[in-house]
Amino acid sequence: MSALIDSLAAEARLPADDHAQVRRGARKALLQYGFPDMKTEAWKYTSLRVLEKREFSAEKPAPSDRPVLPFEAVVLHFDNGILATDGLDLPEGVSLVPQTGDQLAVADYGDRSGAFAWLNLARFEQAWHLRIEGRLERPLVIATGTAEDFQGDVHPRLFIELAAGAQAEVVEVQQDRGQGLVNIVQDITLGPGAILRHLVSRRVAQSAWIQRSAVTLARDADYRFHVLDRGGRLTRHDLNATLVGAGANAEIDGTVLVNDRQHVDFHTAIDHQVGHTNSRESFRILADGSGVGVFNGRIHIARGADDSHSDLNTANLLLSESARINAKPELEIYAEEVTASHGATIGQLDDTALFYMRSRGIPASEAAALLKQGFAAAPLENIQPEPIRTWLLGELKNMM
């Protein structure tokens, strides 16, 4: 981790704004706690060795590609991690301003398991505040891409605020081609009755891709998260949803594909702080080649959060001799009148199904591909609106 620690000292690259003190505080916290190792419970299955050997370059890389999408959308392009503001045309009800010092000063990421969020706060160049009011007609696309010669470290920071009753679809299109570090911190708040569909389509090359999304749901808010992660050298996504108002509902659906020399680690936590809240989660990992998939899903129901209901399900496929899957579904329940359950399986393609398809003249490889695709598509099938679903399912099909 020496290169990262060294980079902390390179203050010269940081913009001269009002946030120097916040950055210094974060840097102090990070130096105090250090980076996690495999003895850190939350990082038990993910080694940071890839980063240890990496040298980061301050050279400006070539521009990254803007995504080509088959549906109409408002696109915010984070080119190599930095928002391209030229020609940005935001629809009515959407505002984008830099975050204030007060907003940043309250950030606290605990001990070393939050090291990358501290690192983000110590090194960010831009911190944006995106506010959405009313109902957005077109999806809002946040495209974060890196170019092939990207070897630096970037720390995008974004606060998404949905006002009371707002409705939006936020689609994150993440495409990495480089070999640096992309370290994203997102804070998302949903006001009373707000509805957010948050979709992530990610494909990472050699960069380490670390993302932390912290979502807070007020009364009657509804948050739906879908992810299609097509693997990367080292990807870690922490998604925490905190339900603080009665009637709040959170749903998480994910499909992760990993193949040779890829490692994807998903940590989700759903925290029912008050009663009359619901959550559901379904997560699938397909590990092929020498890929490693990690899923840690935690459900916490606080004392007094009676009449909360939660269900978590993770099904995983191990498709090759050297692939590995580690799953840890957790329940932490302090309230009485609740139902909480989880199920986890790790297995392989069903021989009977394969035999059935082959007996009907489908070649073995095609039959396996169909089964895999069917398995991987399940968490994506209830995506709304339809054009986005078709697009993501098409991306999945291309991968197979």
**Which helix H or strand E contains 313, and what residues bound it?**
strand 309-318
Q: Tell whether residue 276 is a contact of other proteins (CB under 8 A).
A: no
Using the Cα atoms of residue 89, residue 90, residue 95 and residue 98 in order, give the sign of their dihedral. negative
Q: Tell whether residue 341 is a contact of other proteins (CB under 8 A).
A: yes
Q: Which residues, 44 to 63, sit near other proteins by CB under 8 A?
A: 45
Query: Smallest distance from the beta carbon of 314 to other proteins, in angstroms?
Result: 9
Instruction: Decide whether 83 or 250 has the Cβ nearer to other proteins.
Output: 250
Query: Smallest distance from the beta carbon of 343 to other proteins, in angstroms?
Result: 5
Q: Tell whether residue 348 is a contact of other proteins (CB under 8 A).
A: yes
Q: Tell whether residue 260 is a contact of other proteins (CB under 8 A).
A: no
Instruction: Provide DSSP, 346-394.
Output: EE---HHHHHHHHHTT--HHHHHHHHHHHHHHGGGTT-SSHHHHHHHHH
Q: Tell whether residue 354 is a contact of other proteins (CB under 8 A).
A: no
Binding other proteins (rule: CB under 8 A), the pick from 9, 321, 365, 398 is 321
Instruction: Decide whether 178 or 297 has the Cβ nearer to other proteins.
Output: 297
Q: Tell whether residue 305 is a contact of other proteins (CB under 8 A).
A: no
Instruction: Decide whether 85 or 348 has the Cβ nearer to other proteins.
Output: 348
Binding other proteins (rule: CB under 8 A), the pick from 173, 258, 327, 368 is 327
Coil vs helix vs strand at 103 = helix
AA identity, residue 184 = I
User: Parallel, antiparallel, or unpaired: how do β-strands 157-162 and 278-287 relate?
Assistant: unpaired
Residues contacting 355, CB < 8 A, separation 6+ = none
Q: Tell whether residue 264 is a contact of other proteins (CB under 8 A).
A: no
* Contact status, residue 310 vs residue 343, Cβ threshold 8 Å: no
User: Parallel, antiparallel, or unpaired: how do β-strands 82-83 and 74-79 relate?
Assistant: antiparallel
* Contact status, residue 320 vs residue 288, Cβ threshold 8 Å: yes
**What angle do the packed helices 351-359 and 364-377 form, to 10 degrees?**
130
Binding other proteins (rule: CB under 8 A), the pick from 36, 232, 329, 379 is 329
Choose the binding region for other proteins from 79-87, 240-248, 346-354, 384-392 (rule: CB under 8 A).
Answer: 346-354
Choose the binding region for other proteins from 206-214, 241-249, 312-320, 358-366 (rule: CB under 8 A).
Answer: 312-320
Instruction: Decide whether 22 or 292 has the Cβ nearer to other proteins.
Output: 292
Query: Smallest distance from the beta carbon of 305 to other proteins, in angstroms?
Result: 11
Q: Tell whether residue 324 is a contact of other proteins (CB under 8 A).
A: yes
- The distance of Cα 352 from the centroid of its chain, to the nearest Å, equals 35
Instruction: Decide whether 52 or 332 has the Cβ nearer to other proteins.
Output: 332
Coil vs helix vs strand at 57 = coil
Instruction: Decide whether 56 or 266 has the Cβ nearer to other proteins.
Output: 266
SS3 of the chain: helix, strand, coil, percent, to 5: 20, 40, 40
Q: Tell whether residue 382 is a contact of other proteins (CB under 8 A).
A: no
Instruction: Decide whether 100 or 322 has the Cβ nearer to other proteins.
Output: 322
> How far apart, in whole angstroms, are the C-alpha atoms of residue 360 and residue 376?
23
Q: Tell whether residue 140 is a contact of other proteins (CB under 8 A).
A: no
Using the Cα atoms of residue 28, residue 31, residue 35 and residue 36 in order, give the sign of their dihedral. negative
Instruction: Decide whether 276 or 389 has the Cβ nearer to other proteins.
Output: 276
Instruction: Decide whether 174 or 278 has the Cβ nearer to other proteins.
Output: 278
Instruction: Decide whether 136 or 340 has the Cβ nearer to other proteins.
Output: 340
Query: Smallest distance from the beta carbon of 52 to other proteins, in angstroms?
Result: 23
Coil vs helix vs strand at 69 = coil
Q: Supply 42's token pair.
A: 């939350």
Query: Smallest distance from the beta carbon of 53 to other proteins, in angstroms?
Result: 24
Binding other proteins (rule: CB under 8 A), the pick from 47, 57, 320, 373 is 320
Q: Supply 319's token pair.
A: 């498709």
Cis peptide before 385 (omega within 30 of 0): yes
Give the interface with other proteins as residue ranges (CB under 8 A).
41, 45, 303-304, 306, 316, 318-348
